Amino acid sequence: MSEDPALGDVLDVLSDEYARAILAATSVKPMSAQQLADECEMSKPTVYRRVERLRDYDLIEERTAIQDDGNHYSVYAATLSELSVELDEGSFEADVTRREPEAFPGQRETDTADRFAKMWENL
């Protein structure tokens, strides 16, 4: 979606405990559906349903994890950074802040050695 979704829609998505668990887990590091199922103690179909709904509102993104053996798979990373709700003169205003996805691991590191270490760890 190019525009921020309506407040009620975002709150509806975030009212789901499974969706919140997925967002919390993927805010730490990108995770596959199997990793999310294990970490959040839910079935893979539940993970996929919630991920699809979170993707509909641009609260999570899908990335491809590259494997040497050619068996690539999807991982998910939270893009939601902050949700703020303001009540002003009888109306609610919602602001959704999203993280910019990293082009490569370690992109946000300011120290060259740390940046190289992050890139190396993810090869």
Query: What is the per-residue pLDDT across 70-98, written as a single tens digit (0 to 9) for each?
Result: 888 899 999 998 888 888 898 888 888 88
Question: What is the radius of gyration, based on Cα positions, of the chain?
Answer: 16
Residue 3 CA, distance from chain mean position:
18
pLDDT surpassing 50 at residue 21: yes
Region 113-118: mean pLDDT is 72
The pLDDT of residue 114:
73
Q: Which residues contact 74 (CB under 8 A, 6 or more apart)?
A: 32, 33, 62, 63, 64, 65
Region 61-72: mean pLDDT is 85
- Apex CA 76: angle with CA 105 and CA 109, to 5°? 20
The pLDDT of residue 119:
65
| pTM score, whole prediction | 0.73
Bridge partners for 108 per DSSP: none
The pLDDT of residue 50:
97
The pLDDT of residue 2:
38
Domains by residue range for the chain, with CATH: 7-121 (1.10.10.10)
